[in-house]
Structure 1
Amino acid sequence: MNQLFPEALPTGTVLGSWQVDGWAGYGAYGVVYRARKVGQTETYPVALKLARYPNDLRFRREAELLSRIHHPGVPCLLGKGTWKANARGDSHPYVVMQWVEGIRLYDWAERHPLTFCQALRLLAQVARALEATHAIQGLHRDVKGDNILVNADGQAILMDFGCGIWEGAASLTDGLLAPGTRIYRSPQALRFQWNHRRETQIHYRATPADDVYALGVTAYRLCTGVYPPLATDPSIMGDDGRDTQELLKPPSQWKPLAPALESLILRMLSEKPRDRGLAGELAATMEALVDAEAGELARLSDSRMLAEVSGVSASVPRHGKLWRMALLPVIAGLLLLTSVNLNLDGLWGSSPGMTEGGAGGVADQVVAELPVTSMEQEPELRGLRLEMPEGPLPGQRRPPCPRNQINIKGGCWAEIVQLSPPCGESFYDWKGACYVPVAAPLRPNTSEKP
């Protein structure tokens, strides 16, 4: 009898109650087969992921993690078991999951025109899957485009939890970092790797903020077609700062991008973990922006509220670009109202293993990237131009300004790179470019309260 290998099981091979129907994929630690229940050839297929190496504990941990997550954006666990490869009794564990028919995220984007709403919907769906993972104190630890499939309905599914972990699970990591993809690593992970490069008995403890950073890299790559520079590479000059690396360009410098989407991407790529936001809040922001773009926000407020908050006449046609931009402060305000009772410690408790570098609330930070027309006293309109005020507006952020903003006359401003003067009635002219004021972050941050 010929010996079978996990990488090349022939059609018809039986593993427990499952029968191989064909080869589907290959990875560093496992091989994925399309399979069905034995004797039920007319049923829906499943994905059977078989370990390439005997007694690989990653598969037991992946099965346990998937059994805890119940979300439509995460494959459902259907079974698990072991397969003996030969007479010596080498056992290879396997995991059986829901079969997902889809296209990898970046390939999908190449085949479909990626609109503002489509990008936000896909990213929000992945963020919701991460929210469900983080809610059970789990981490994915390998979020990237290759691990996201988009099905025929346009639903994004977060795949491959083989690098995942949950609070309390035994560590299986031999190196300083868990298996993953370098370009998606957070600055904290890369610096830890460099600072402890000569040690062998210490391991980096990832947090939800690492997953969010990887989602930011995914979003940047999805919307621009290129990756952002590596988060940091202190080995270049012996420094642990981002200034040792290529400067991070705002996504809109590669391709035209809506300011609100660019803001969210840069937020997820923030240097400080707590500035990146929680996955659930990011998803809520993205979903609200999609609703606004589609005109759904009109049902949440009457025309008087829109006029007061946005500073734009209620008679402005709602299909106009300026109307959509004016809605952004309203969205941020609504999200703030829904997040004031958020308790970060409720997600992770007081466990020392995963609390360092956790993500802070994003709703108040989103305001920092949007027009603050609800806080400012409107200067006199001069045709279709707003002249730059001589000082910061009431409620405007003061320097030091984040890297994606600029200090103009004592206030922080964000450039609208898609526009050039005349900038219209919603943006300010300054030295041949159009800007919006950035609101100061709200304090105190209620998401940090115990």
Structure 2
Amino acid sequence: MDTAFPEKLPPGTVIGSWQVISGAGRGAYGAVYCAVQEGQEEAGWVALKVALRSREERFEREAEVLSRIRHPGVPRLLARGEWKGGRWRVPHPYLVMEWVEGIPLYQWAWVNAPNSRQVLRVLAQLCRTLQAIHAAQCLHRDVKGANVLVGPEGKVSLVDFGSGTYPEAPPLTEAPLAPGTRPYRSPQALLHARAHAWDGARYKARPEDDVYALGVTAYRMVTGVYPPLGADLEVGQGTSQEAKPVRQPPHLRVRAIIPELSVLIERMLEETPSARGSARELAEALEAAAARAGPEADRRLDTAASFQPVMTVVPEPLGWRTPARAGLIGAAVACLVIGLSTHRVSEHPWPVPPEEGEPDAGTVGLADASVTPEALAAAARAEDAPLPEKSVALEMPKQPFAGQKRPPCKPQRETEIRGGCWAALLNAQAPCEDDGYEWAGKCFLPVKARPRPDTSNYP
């Protein structure tokens, strides 16, 4: 079994003192498995995350972030180590974390059709979690619906710290922005990425970026759509007549939402970072709003009916059963299937399952008992839902960038597109990551022109 690929570990594989029970999810950097500790199976499940590549430095940073945070809304780090395996039997780091039961936030909204008071309480829990993260001098940097799990009795957890960081952490990428999900980027991050596309100056994320991402998450949860991008990057390229898109406050999209919730979501989405407030300030405001709201806060929001998430049935692993888990596993258990990124955004409420295919390399939890057979049947039908029409991936510019190489382009290595030379990203198909530009179904990066020789010293 040591020769198995880290993303395809069969049940029974032993890593350290942990035995794989079943797969639970895969992201860009790691695969997550449900596992138990050998000899202590009665202690219950853990989340075993194995790096897809040898000596993945992100695992060391994620472990450090998790070790600094002590909060019930963040999975505890239980162990870490290296597993020698794969085709070449090279070291792959792994992390063992507390198993978090729950369903992703948007799926929870679909299953439960929450009211304003419940949404206020969920967001307050997330703000308290962010407060603890920021108090530990850490950042999450990928807050989104797929990384929020709502468990039994409404307990909320924030997972997947693969993009997390702390002040002393060394940079791991040369791009201006750390890995993340584009629709959740703050206006400051997007503007920085555009301004420093060539010089590689890195954006220094701040707690306000996490707060903004939470605002995007809240907006999409209650309205069913993403708000417009925080910076006017996709609008008006080459034309001055096209106006910047206007974000409609949630209460103009959803009749049942109470004004206090709408105002607080809009506050998180303020373009000025200081106007958003800290996680602590927002938690206090959300908790106070939930406590003083009247009966109007108990009306269900009317966006959940058209939201159909993609789920699958996780069978009970053969030959393993404990009394504490037997009832839960004996029935079909729903679990989110997480794939690679599509970065697609719709203009209409929930035409496809939210967060479907977005990158996630963190802890994946099991759905609670509120997921009914009817919900699973509806989820199965959702797999045939059409893809949304609009993508927020970077579109190919109509003319070359300043400093970009012009033709003639190198044969077989560069492609001439719209008067500039571009390099294709190997094995990358559209939709592209944040730093890729789409053309003819493939992903490209601009080729930088060589600087001209200095002739000032010549006669």
Structure 1 counterpart of 2:253, one-letter code: W
Counterpart contact for 1:21–1:36, Cα < 8 Å: yes
**What is residue 19 of structure 1 aligned with on the other side?**
19
**How far did residue 114 of structure 1 move?**
1.2
Structure 1 counterpart of 2:180, one-letter code: G
Rounded to whole Å, the distance in 2 between the matches of 1:289 and 1:259 is 10
**What is residue 204 of structure 1 aligned with on the other side?**
203
Secondary structure (helix, strand or coil) at the match of 1:42 reads helix
If each structure's helix is expressed as a fraction of its own residues, which one has the higher value? 1
Counterpart contact for 1:65–1:138, Cα < 8 Å: yes
Secondary structure (helix, strand or coil) at the match of 2:260 reads helix
**What is residue 248 of structure 1 aligned with on the other side?**
247
Question: Alpha-carbon deviations, 1:235-282, whole Å to 9, x = none?
Answer: 54369x9x9532111111211221111110111000100000000110
Is 1:258 the counterpart of 2:258? The answer is: yes
Secondary structure (helix, strand or coil) at the match of 2:43 reads coil
**What is residue 83 of structure 1 aligned with on the other side?**
83
Rounded to whole Å, the distance in 2 between the matches of 1:80 and 1:38 is 16
Distance 1:115 1:86, change over 3 A: closer
Can you give the 5+ residue segments of structure 2 that lack an aligned partner in the other structure?
Answer: 298-459
**How far did residue 145 of structure 1 move?**
0.3
Distance 1:68 1:271, change over 3 A: same
Rounded to whole Å, the distance in 2 between the matches of 1:271 and 1:283 is 20
Q: Which has the larger radius of gyration?
A: 1
Secondary structure (helix, strand or coil) at the match of 1:247 reads coil
**How far did residue 173 of structure 1 move?**
2.2
Secondary structure (helix, strand or coil) at the match of 2:176 reads coil
**1:346-425 aligned within 5 A:** none
Rounded to whole Å, the distance in 2 between the matches of 1:26 and 1:99 is 15
Counterpart contact for 1:77–1:98, Cα < 8 Å: yes
Question: Alpha-carbon deviations, 1:63-113, whole Å to 9, x = none?
Answer: 111011000111111111111114844111111110011100000001112
Distance 1:280 1:2, change over 3 A: closer
**How far did residue 135 of structure 1 move?**
0.2
Rounded to whole Å, the distance in 1 between the matches of 2:128 and 2:38 is 34
Is 1:216 the counterpart of 2:215? The answer is: yes
Secondary structure (helix, strand or coil) at the match of 2:53 reads coil
**1:35-434 aligned within 5 A:** 35-86=35-86, 88-200=88-200, 202-234=201-233, 236-237=235-236, 245-256=244-255, 257-293=257-293
Rounded to whole Å, the distance in 2 between the matches of 1:181 and 1:234 is 15
Counterpart contact for 2:48–2:94, Cα < 8 Å: yes
Rounded to whole Å, the distance in 2 between the matches of 1:270 and 1:228 is 12
TM-score of the pair, normalised by structure 1: 0.63
Counterpart contact for 2:144–2:217, Cα < 8 Å: yes
Counterpart contact for 2:11–2:20, Cα < 8 Å: yes
TM-score of the pair, normalised by structure 2: 0.62
Rounded to whole Å, the distance in 2 between the matches of 1:320 and 1:15 is 52
Secondary structure (helix, strand or coil) at the match of 2:153 reads coil
Structure 2 counterpart of 1:249, one-letter code: Q
Distance 1:252 1:42, change over 3 A: same
**What is residue 314 of structure 1 aligned with on the other side?**
none
Question: Alpha-carbon deviations, 1:406-445, whole Å to 9, x = none?
Answer: xxxxxxxxxxxxxxxxxxxxxxxxxxxxxxxxxxxxxxxx
Q: How many residue pairs were aligned?
A: 294
Structure 2 counterpart of 1:134, one-letter code: H
Rounded to whole Å, the distance in 1 between the matches of 2:196 and 2:34 is 42
**How far did residue 167 of structure 1 move?**
1.1
Secondary structure (helix, strand or coil) at the match of 1:166 reads coil
Which of 1 and 2 has higher RCO (CA within 8 Å, sep 6+)? 2
Moved more, 132-141 or 227-236: 227-236
Q: Cα RMSD between the aligned structures?
A: 2.0
Counterpart contact for 2:124–2:287, Cα < 8 Å: yes
Rounded to whole Å, the distance in 1 between the matches of 2:296 and 2:143 is 36
Secondary structure (helix, strand or coil) at the match of 1:153 reads helix
**How far did residue 168 of structure 1 move?**
1.3
Structure 2 counterpart of 1:280, one-letter code: R
Secondary structure (helix, strand or coil) at the match of 2:54 reads coil
Counterpart contact for 1:103–1:151, Cα < 8 Å: yes
Counterpart contact for 2:147–2:158, Cα < 8 Å: yes
Counterpart contact for 2:4–2:87, Cα < 8 Å: no
Rounded to whole Å, the distance in 1 between the matches of 2:296 and 2:17 is 58
Counterpart contact for 1:233–1:244, Cα < 8 Å: no
**How far did residue 42 of structure 1 move?**
2.2
Structure 1 counterpart of 2:183, one-letter code: I
Structure 2 counterpart of 1:191, one-letter code: L
Counterpart contact for 2:61–2:165, Cα < 8 Å: yes
Q: Report % sequence identity.
A: 52
